[in-house]
């Protein structure tokens, strides 16, 4: 079960373009049920007249297609090998969001799912694509492309063909300093389980658009790029999340040109990159995944952090003085159990036994946000840049991300973990404690 708690900005504190936007909250969830249980859902779905796709595979690319797929597999009485795998938005299956042409609105996207990464874009259905093509041919539009505004400064390959502009304003509840930002070339947003993205959306042309997740980008190059970042074995949801139905009177709203955080002076936004290296404490946090093990009749993959499987909630792996700044290198490099607490990996590219891993892990830190200060991937990931603040980040696989965070305000025990629950629940988690040193 999950839901959204939205902490609103104080009235009058935002740029007028953002203030004027309507808000759409979207809590994403996934369901993934195999074999036997699926038959119950199938029966319930058919009785209810639902168009939910009860077949093996992704969430379907459209309502019509889902229905066809369901029809095709209705003959399959066994269903043993089938997998029911779909995503919902606010508990609804592929809901429709209404919008007007030229209307800028804000989407608060919250990934409350447990396993799949989302690689989200807003793409026209065939009808919208045809309308856009017609408008372009007649010279009455630019294929949906905005020629003015901030989007142009960060424009990537896919915007012209999409008809909509999708800009990131904030991640994990913190406004980006360099916002609004078009990310990942074609306007895709990567959202890991547990992470949040605040987006500004504007569609110029009337039509029906799909808010969809896919491994693909607008071209092969982008697809290669996203999977080589996340790891080839990482699960990325493929299917429609929601539809945006753009119609009615055209509006002439503007996308914001500057970030609400640009002049931020609160302590959270103090740039931790300015702190000298000798004033931070370094720690290496390594994700470990090893062979399958049997326990109480179940077989599962061994998951751990720094060579330790989380089984003891009173075991503290890291103690942090209140007010101090931590620098953690979060590593996902090799298969195997790692070297344990007594022999923490000293470098990012840990040697020793174990193949290079292709299974990605979103790192999540409780209590304090962290700032990205470096990565084996370079200064810009698919959905982050050095300097950004987050509480959840996917680690390049194989590779590492270096973060800094200040132990602010709160003392006590907390956890850092992979946000794929199948991993964290079987051991990919560690305790740390913030203590008052005075
Ligand atoms: Cu994981």
The ipTM of this complex is: 0.94
Asked if 429 and 332 sit in the same domain, the reply is yes
CATH number at residue 271: 2.60.40.420
Rounded distance from Cα 360 to ligand 1 centre (Å): 6
Q: Which CA distances in Å does 300 have to 2, 294, 297, 362, 430?
A: 26, 7, 10, 19, 19
Rounded distance from Cα 202 to ligand 1 centre (Å): 34
Indicate whether 291 belongs to any domain.
yes
Rounded distance from Cα 281 to ligand 1 centre (Å): 25
Amino acid 223: pLDDT: 60
Indicate whether 212 belongs to any domain.
yes
Rounded distance from Cα 334 to ligand 1 centre (Å): 13
Indicate whether 202 belongs to any domain.
yes
Residue ranges for the chain with pLDDT beneath 50 = 56-81, 135-161, 184-185, 265, 342-348
Amino acid 322: pLDDT: 96
| Residue 115: strand, helix, or coil | coil
Asked if 291 and 172 sit in the same domain, the reply is no
Asked if 215 and 271 sit in the same domain, the reply is no
For the chain, the domain total comes to 2
Rounded distance from Cα 359 to ligand 1 centre (Å): 8
Rounded distance from Cα 176 to ligand 1 centre (Å): 26
Indicate whether 251 belongs to any domain.
no
Rounded distance from Cα 291 to ligand 1 centre (Å): 14
Asked if 175 and 296 sit in the same domain, the reply is no
Indicate whether 153 belongs to any domain.
yes
Best CA proximity match to 251, nearest among 99, 72, 44, 54: 99
Rounded distance from Cα 192 to ligand 1 centre (Å): 11
Indicate whether 123 belongs to any domain.
yes
Rounded distance from Cα 194 to ligand 1 centre (Å): 12
Asked if 174 and 27 sit in the same domain, the reply is yes
Rounded distance from Cα 303 to ligand 1 centre (Å): 8
- Give the pairing type, strands 22-34 and 83-89: antiparallel
Rounded distance from Cα 135 to ligand 1 centre (Å): 46
Tens-digit pLDDT profile for residues 58-98: 333 333 333 333 333 333 344 444 567 889 999 999 999 99
Amino acid 143: pLDDT: 35
Rounded distance from Cα 388 to ligand 1 centre (Å): 22
State how far the Cα of 296 lies from the Cα of 322, in Å rounded to an integer: 40
Asked if 235 and 281 sit in the same domain, the reply is no
Best CA proximity match to 26, nearest among 125, 119, 104, 96: 96
Rounded distance from Cα 119 to ligand 1 centre (Å): 17
Rounded distance from Cα 314 to ligand 1 centre (Å): 22
Range of the domain at 359: 267-435
393 contacts: CB under 8 Å, gap ≥ 6: 192, 195, 330, 362, 363, 372, 381, 384, 401, 403
Tens-digit pLDDT profile for residues 259-308: 877 655 455 568 999 999 999 999 999 999 988 887 777 777 889 998 88
Amino acid 65: pLDDT: 37
Asked if 393 and 425 sit in the same domain, the reply is yes
Indicate whether 308 belongs to any domain.
yes
Rounded distance from Cα 294 to ligand 1 centre (Å): 19
Rounded distance from Cα 249 to ligand 1 centre (Å): 46
Rounded distance from Cα 262 to ligand 1 centre (Å): 33
| Residue 309: strand, helix, or coil | coil
Best CA proximity match to 144, nearest among 129, 154, 127: 129
Amino acid 32: pLDDT: 76
Rounded distance from Cα 209 to ligand 1 centre (Å): 32
Asked if 277 and 425 sit in the same domain, the reply is yes
Rounded distance from Cα 424 to ligand 1 centre (Å): 7
| Residue 131: strand, helix, or coil | helix
At residue 360, what are phi and psi to the nearest 5 degrees?
-85, 160
Query: Which residues lie near ion ligand 1 (Cβ < 5 Å)?
Result: 361, 418, 420, 423
Amino acid 149: pLDDT: 34
């Amino acid at each position: 079960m999950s839901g959204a708690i939205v902490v609103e900005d104080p009235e009058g504190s935002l740029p007028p373009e953002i203030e004027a936007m309507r808000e759409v909250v979207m809590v994403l969830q996934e369901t993934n049920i195999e074999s036997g249980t699926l038959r119950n859902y199938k029966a319930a779905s058919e009785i209810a007249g639902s168009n939910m796709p009860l077949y093996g595979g992704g969430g379907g690319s459209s309502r019509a297609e889902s229905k066809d797929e369901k029809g095709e597999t209705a003959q399959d009485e066994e269903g043993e090998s089938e997998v029911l795998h779909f995503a919902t938005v606010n508990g609804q299956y592929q809901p429709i969001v209404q919008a007007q042409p030229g209307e800028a609105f804000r989407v608060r996207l919250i990934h409350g799912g447990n396993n799949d990464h989302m690689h989200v874009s807003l793409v026209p259905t065939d009808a919208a694509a045809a309308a856009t093509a017609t408008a372009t041919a007649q010279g009455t539009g630019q294929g949906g492309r905005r020629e003015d505004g901030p989007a142009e400064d960060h424009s990537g390959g896919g915007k012209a063909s999409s008809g909509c502009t999708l800009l990131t304003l904030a991640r994990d509840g913190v406004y980006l300093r360099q916002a609004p930002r078009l990310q990942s070339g074609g306007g895709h947003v990567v959202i890991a389980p547990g992470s949040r993205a605040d987006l500004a959306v504007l569609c110029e042309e009337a039509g029906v658009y799909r808010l969809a997740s896919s491994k693909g980008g607008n071209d092969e190059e982008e697809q290669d790029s996203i999977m080589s970042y996340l790891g080839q074995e990482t699960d990325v949801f493929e299917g429609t999340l929601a539809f945006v139905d753009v119609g009615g009177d055209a509006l002439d709203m503007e996308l914001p040109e500057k970030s609400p955080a640009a002049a931020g002076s609160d302590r959270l936004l103090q740039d931790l990159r300015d702190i000298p290296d000798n004033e931070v404490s370094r720690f290496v946090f390594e994700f470990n995944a090893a062979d399958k093990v049997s326990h109480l009749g179940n077989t599962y993959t061994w998951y751990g952090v720094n060579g330790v499987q989380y089984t003891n909630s009173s075991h503290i792996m890291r103690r942090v003085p209140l007010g101090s700044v931590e620098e953690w290198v979060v590593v996902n490099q090799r298969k195997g159990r790692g070297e344990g607490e007594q022999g923490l990996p000293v470098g990012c590219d840990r040697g020793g036994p174990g193949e290079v891993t292709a299974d990605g892990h979103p790192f999540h830190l409780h209590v304090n946000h962290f700032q990205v200060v470096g990565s084996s991937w370079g200064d810009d990931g698919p959905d982050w840049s050095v300097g950004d603040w987050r509480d959840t980040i996917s680690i390049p696989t194989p590779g590492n991300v270096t973060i800094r965070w200040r132990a602010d305000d709160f003392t006590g025990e907390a956890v850092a973990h992979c946000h794929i629950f199948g991993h964290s629940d079987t051991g990919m988690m560690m305790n740390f404690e913030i203590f008052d040193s005075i």
